Amino acid sequence: MVLSLTMAAQDSRGRVLMLFISLMMALSCASGMPISRQRLEVRKHLQRLNKPALKSIKSPDGDIIDCVHVSHQPAFDHPYLKNHTIQLRPTFHPEGLFGESKVASSPSQKNSTITQLWHLNGRCPENTIPIRRTKKDDILRASSVKRYGKKKLRSIPQPRSADPDLINESGHQHAIAYVEGDKYYGAKATINVWQPKIQQPNEFSLSQIWILGGSFGEDLNSIEAGWQVSPDLYGDSNTRLFTYWTSDAYQATGCYNLLCSGFIQINSEIAMGASIFPISGYRGSQYDISILVWKDPKEGNWWMQFGNDYVLGYWPSFLFSYLADSASMIEWGGEVVNSEPNGEHTSTQMGSGHFPEEGFGKSSYFRNIQVVDGSNNLRAPKGVGTFTEQSNCYDVQNGDNGNWGKYFYYGGPGKNPNCQ
């Protein structure tokens, strides 16, 4: 009797074990590789990205900010940067750079400072840079370890083409202002900051500057900076500062923030990919950030400045082909991903989620848009065009006045009675 019970128990355990093995094999097949190999790839990638920290700060939003020595940052994994001497400051700033408040001008508003949420719990020491720690779950949300931190293809607005087939194929929609037809050595804008709602985790909404060189083919060069909400990339719906670069139209080169080698950060105050705080409210206080990207006329590197006080770092010119010389187009504006099937439209918002005609305090804006010319001067752009693929989903309207210079309102709710 005891023997039969023991055999029954063993048989039961055997069935459970076989079920477990079958489940593991099914999961392994679904991921396209053996589980142990996937774990190993994720672990190795985490080790590459998360450099040893001299100090770590827990942000109220759950992020961990690691203070990494400036010489140990991910940029120096690049083979061309092994013996690179860090440029601690740009040789030249663009002429005509003027100070701006960090909260939109309105008689009823007091001046306030926009910052990053992790600052509430500490700061990084000198000679370190703050890096948002990558977690295992961040990588597992990506389509593959190799594609983690990279944009999908076809995510740059092409003002000459509003072909519906192209829109449906790319899934990206835009509302932008742009200039072309000259050589550009940088761009600047003050960008209204919001927290747009995202319908699907694999969609995002962003507002940024594009510095573009080359054609819209496979050799496109792009430097991008602004704010974004991307649940897929960050695991939440916070509004975050970001950068991006590519030298081959998003195929193999480049990434968001510091998620690959390339961008060299020198600033200890601002973390790429960290949450921006505070943000604008509908009919409430309006907050904005100023971003400047320009080419150092002596060294040739592309620098980025955040606000009036923070020179963040630079993209070495050797990363690019066309942008090693200059940009041929500048774009400012919003972008969303529409991943809805069967021709339906996403309800993911762009900007504030409201159309441009609603104006200040309700619609999102870019103000004081400028370009850097061949003499390293900031100036108002000439011949600004606007573009959107579907104006009944997301729209753009530009203007010009004394305080805001050249500006535009943009954005929208996505799906609505006129946008199905």
CA 413 to each of CA 22, 172, 348, 356, 409: distance values in angstroms, whole numbers, following the listed order = 45, 15, 7, 11, 14
**Buried-state track 154-189, b at ≥16 Cβ within 10 A, e below 16:** ebbbebeeeeeeebeebbbbbbbbbbeebebbbbbb
Please provide the size of the chain in residues: 420
Q: How far apart are the C-alpha atoms of 74 and 52, rounded to whole Å?
A: 11
The three-class DSSP label of residue 163 is coil
Structure tokens at 250: 């998003």
Written in H, E and C, the secondary structure of 63-119 is: CEEEEEEHHHCHHHHCHHHCCCCCCCCCCCCCECCCCCCCECCCCCCCCCCCEEHHH
Q: How far apart are the C-alpha atoms of 216 and 151, rounded to whole Å?
A: 15
- Main-chain phi, psi angles of 140, to 5 degrees: -65, -20
Q: How far apart are the C-alpha atoms of 266 and 320, rounded to whole Å?
A: 20
Residue 335, H or E segment? strand 327-337
List active site positions. Answer: 224, 335
The three-class DSSP label of residue 387 is strand
